[in-house]
Amino acid sequence: MTDSLLTERHDAVTVLTINRPEVRNALNQDVMVALRAALTAAETDGTRCVVLTGAGGAFSSGADIKQALADGLDADGLTHLLSAVYGPTLKAIRATSWPVIAAVDGLAGGLGCDMALACDLRLISERARFAELFIRVGLIPDGGGTYLLPRLIGTGRAFELLFTGRDVAAAEAQQIGLANHVYPVETFMTAVLQFATTISQQSPQALRRGKAALLAALDSSYAEALDHEHAHQHAILTSADGLEGFRAFAEKRPPVWTSR
């Protein structure tokens, strides 16, 4: 990994830290390419849960537009950067087989906000804040915010954040459904790692197939969602771990998962 993205391993939990605190972890091409590579590696290296966070008291302030303009990119160049660099990485977050947690300490703004929304869960500190900053510079969300926000908080609230670009502080973020849990700043990453470790100890098959089924259900009918569930359940039941959970429960012991 490059210095702009740090990787730590805690048993089956992989922590990816955007490491550009001098620009509040603004997202440039180096970060996005490194992040995509790290997510690809997590598919096969024994990872069972990914935590994405930022260094220095911010999650990410958004795309590094200052660097893009300094590099001489015009409107076409910026659009290409979105479709060729930023878009594929955001899609990779969503497509990662394992649960992905955004650990938000400080600002998640603009594209950084959309990146947090693309994760499966958002654990935040008491000083976290979210902002769809695009409207402040005359733009619209371009990191999937128009898809993700209404699914998380409803259409009316999504329109409000899109039209105002206002900050959403930690307490409100949890209240409206942007965040799953809020923790004190002093114990934030300890709490995040405990939460992620609990997830990582679940059945690998159930984790990845449960995630796949839920994401598919977002754009499916009820009948289609049932069919997806049944197909994934059959695959689990016929795997090496298919009856391990039942056996472990009956034998009053922790389950031992052997299949991926």
Considering the four listed CATH numbers 3.90.226.10, 3.60.10.10, 2.30.29.30, 1.20.1090.10, the one that applies to the domain covering 5-200 is: 3.90.226.10
Q: How far apart are CA 23 and CA 30, in angstroms?
A: 14
In tens digits, what is the pLDDT along the chain, a chain of 260 residues?
Answer: 459 999 999 999 999 999 999 999 999 999 999 999 999 999 999 999 999 999 999 999 999 989 988 888 899 989 999 999 999 999 999 999 999 999 999 999 999 999 999 999 999 999 999 999 999 999 999 999 999 999 999 999 999 999 999 999 999 999 999 999 999 999 999 999 999 999 999 999 999 999 999 999 999 999 999 999 999 999 999 998 888 888 998 999 999 998 77
Contacts of 83 (CB under 8 A, 6+ apart): none
One-letter amino acid at 192 equals: V
**CA dist list (Å): 34 to 11, 67, 85, 194, 228:** 21, 17, 11, 25, 33
Place of tokens 């303009």: 69
Q: How far apart are CA 150 and CA 146, in angstroms?
A: 7
pTM of the model: 0.95
